[in-house]
A and B are shown apart, each in its own frame.
Chain A
Amino acid sequence: MVRTDGSMKAAKFDYIQAATVDEVVDALAKGDGEAIVIAGGQTLMPMLSMRLARPETVIDINRIAELSGIEVASAANGDEVVIKACTRQAAALASDIIQTQLPLLAKAIAYVGHQQTRNRGTVGGSLSHADPASEIPLTALTMDAYVRLRSVAGTRDVAMVDYFLGPMMTARADNEILLSVHFPTAQTGVRTGTAFHEVSELRGDFAVVAAAAVIELDGAGTSTKVALGIGGADGVPKRITELEEKLRGGRIDPGGIHAALGEIADALSPGGDQHAGAAYRRRVAAVLGERALLEALAEAERA
């Protein structure tokens, strides 16, 4: 037999296997900042093993049926696709609803992880971890999604633009659980094009830099919506709003996109690390941003 005691990497904690969301929010309230939710564990487990996280209580939400699934619901401004927090990334990749209703997410999720991590990793976990280079948060921001959070005090919705506060920091409070993420579906009668591009060291790894774009055109070819999000080139995934505003409301010509690329670099404050320096990230963000916008435009024109 191999060693046992010495192989305990994580610090001691109490473990609760929750059966309902009520049980989770009660335990989070009781935990008073020292309790943490585990979903797929793909980012929390390393933090526990390295003792970067030392919670007193770990609340397991994997067996809560109401936290799993993908469905279409009606909302105030039309239909939305609701992805429950503990839905596996593998289930999202295989989902017909996502393939047909959320083309940008379908494209982005193909870049998420490897089969072993997608089989455990969850959509809500990725949004809760909020790595600035990760694909699901970037896509949610670019698609104007929002998350639903719950604590013992009640439920609140937070738009993605207000949700990401910094690297691995979000608006979710310690006593809240992320219940679901809500993506608006495209309006009928609108021609939509989307594109997702990233540079990573190895397919399936976190992006060094990623770009996500959505363009909507009306019948006359006028752009009614332009969204460009960049990941991995700032502390949070970022929308390039000045460029979006410049391109919205007229006919977009590819030269106009090229002329506006300076807006991308100006909007970002990348850091450098062992994977890439700040100047490289800024340059790649502009290249991928242009590529994503051109591809989204071409797709919208064909639609």
Chain B
Amino acid sequence: MRKHQIELQINGKAIAREIEPRLSLTDFLRGEQGLSGTHIGCEHGVCGACSILLDGVPIRSCLMLAVQADGHALTTVEGLTQDDGSPGLLQAAFQDAHGMQCGYCTPGMIISAQALLVDNDDPSLEQIKDAIGGNICRCTGYVQVIESIQLAASRMREAHL
């Protein structure tokens, strides 16, 4: 069972590692890279807590092998902070609008919202619901998640004015 060399970018940083092919991308991010912001929920592609951006589009990292990420650019929730490490636009909006209860689903919610807002800073309620449709919040705190995304979108629009 040969190990494989992979080279990829994570949150703008070049990484090279030798890994076993059976290692999932989530476990690579958390275990090998210490990026524990990407959460493990169901581990079979149902809950969305492990969502990350792969070349800018959201995917479930538990449904990808780390070896398949070779040559790709990944963004995790840690990559959405500001340069000084303080909360980024979406993270601050989730804080300000109380877009979390236990916080377990939050990284996945933020990744899904980021993918939505990057193309559309004025999403409809339906578009927001569709974007987070693959993210389960078992506290069922969806209303405030949606309000957080709306707050982030309004701040984006103000910044663009």
Interface residues of A (CB under 8 A from B): 1-4, 7-15, 17, 38, 40-42, 45-46, 48-50, 58, 60, 62, 90, 113-117, 119-120, 202-204
In the bound complex, what is the Cα–Cα distance between A202 and B47 (angstroms)?
A: 12
Interface residues on B, range: 35 or more
Q: Chain B 27-53 against A: per-residue CB contact (8 Å), 1 yes, 0 no?
A: 100111010100000011100100100
In the bound complex, what is the Cα–Cα distance between A49 and B63 (angstroms)?
A: 9
In the assembled complex, the CB of A111 is this many whole angstroms from the nearest CB of chain B, namely: 11
Q: Which 8 A-B pairs have the closest CB atoms?
A: A114-B134, A15-B21, A46-B44, A10-B22, A7-B27, A45-B63, A12-B1, A4-B31
Instruction: Show 20 residue pairs from A and B whose CB-CB distance is below 8 angstroms, ordered by the A residue.
Output: A2-B36, A4-B27, A8-B20, A10-B22, A13-B22, A15-B65, A38-B65, A40-B63, A41-B64, A46-B45, A49-B24, A49-B43, A58-B65, A60-B68, A116-B51, A119-B57, A119-B58, A203-B133, A204-B133, A204-B134
Interface residues of B (CB under 8 A from A): 1-2, 4, 20-24, 27, 30-32, 34, 36, 43-45, 48, 51, 54, 57-60, 62-65, 67-68, 70, 112, 115, 130-131, 133-134
Assuming the contacts A14-B21, A49-B24, asked whether A41 and B68 have C-beta atoms less than 8 A apart, the reply is yes
Listed residue (A1, A7, A48) with the most chain B CB atoms within 10 angstroms of its CB: A7
Assuming the contacts A15-B65, A41-B65, asked whether A117 and B60 have C-beta atoms less than 8 A apart, the reply is yes
Assuming the contacts A7-B27, A42-B45, asked whether A120 and B60 have C-beta atoms less than 8 A apart, the reply is yes
Contacts of A120 in B (CB 8 A): 54, 59-60, 63-64
* Inter-subunit contact B133/A45 (CB<8 Å): no
Assuming the contacts A115-B115, A115-B134, asked whether A45 and B48 have C-beta atoms less than 8 A apart, the reply is no
* Inter-subunit contact B31/A3 (CB<8 Å): yes
Interface of A is mostly: loop
* Inter-subunit contact A1/B134 (CB<8 Å): no
Assuming the contacts A116-B59, A120-B63, asked whether A8 and B133 have C-beta atoms less than 8 A apart, the reply is no
